[in-house]
Amino acid sequence: MEDQNIVETPDEIRRRKGRERTRRHRDKNRVEEPPESFEGISALWQKNEEKLQKENPVLHLQIVARHKEVEELEAEAADIERGVEAGLRAETLSELTQDQSKIFPMPDLSYKDIKTHALANGTASYRQIEAASIKGELLDEVSRYYMKYGFRLRLSHETLQNVRENLVLYALRTHDQNLNWEIIREAIADCSSYGGFSPNADELRKLIQKRRAASDLNRASDVPLQTL
């Protein structure tokens, strides 16, 4: 995709490094929750990591690294969803942050990372995998690793949809000038072309229509639209 070839600016590097501090802070303060229903499969990976390491050390390194990357991206998407729902301000955690409970990671950077990962590795519906396994259907290799060990090697398709929609909701509600609006335009295009169910469909449609109407008005008057 076009955005994958964009070289990071110094400001983007600063924000990305701050976002990495956000991740470390989240991991340090994470509270483990007991597994529920099929979610217990996801908790198997820690228990089975040693088993896989003995069976195939090289494969163990590859799978654990991918699993932890997926886990981190999905946790970040969940942080963004909570932040947008609470009406918080998007900002990467930094040494200057007074109260990290009032902010959440930059959704444009997260969307870019998550979409890049999804394009490279695909997405998965883990409940469909679980249901297929119960029915005795054949699973591909990645799905078998999930059912046997609990390793998630692909992002859930809901993660990509949620981070995309929350980015667009936040951007078009707030017109935050700290966002990368090239990435916003890509997310808007993806939201517009998405044909599945979305609980945010009505608001997204209204916000996108309003944005397009404003763009048309500014083009007609030959006045640049500052935020887009």
pTM, 2 dp? 0.77
Residue 16: predicted pLDDT: 73
- Determine the Cα–Cα distance for residues 170 and 178; give it in Å rounded to an integer: 12
| Residue 98 token pair | 């007074």
Amino acid making up residue 51: K
List of residues 6+ apart from 9 with CB closer than 8 A: none
Question: Which run of H or of E encompasses 66?
Answer: helix 57-85
Decide if 165 contacts 78 (C-beta within 8 A): no
Question: Which run of H or of E encompasses 48?
Answer: helix 44-55
The band of 26, judged by pLDDT with boundaries at 50, 70 and 90, is low
Residue 85: predicted pLDDT: 94
- Determine the Cα–Cα distance for residues 145 and 21; give it in Å rounded to an integer: 30
Please state the domain extents for the chain: 2-199
Residues facing 104 on adjacent strands: 90
Helix (H, G, I), strand (E, B) or coil at 8: coil
List of residues 6+ apart from 84 with CB closer than 8 A: 104, 107, 166, 169, 170
* Helices 157-174 and 181-193, packing angle to 10 deg: 120
Helix (H, G, I), strand (E, B) or coil at 104: strand
List of residues 6+ apart from 146 with CB closer than 8 A: 41, 124, 126, 129, 152, 153
The band of 103, judged by pLDDT with boundaries at 50, 70 and 90, is confident
- The tens digit of pLDDT for each residue in 123-146 reads 999 999 999 999 999 999 999 999
- Determine the Cα–Cα distance for residues 144 and 70; give it in Å rounded to an integer: 17
Say whether pLDDT at 34 is over 50.
no
Residue 3: predicted pLDDT: 42
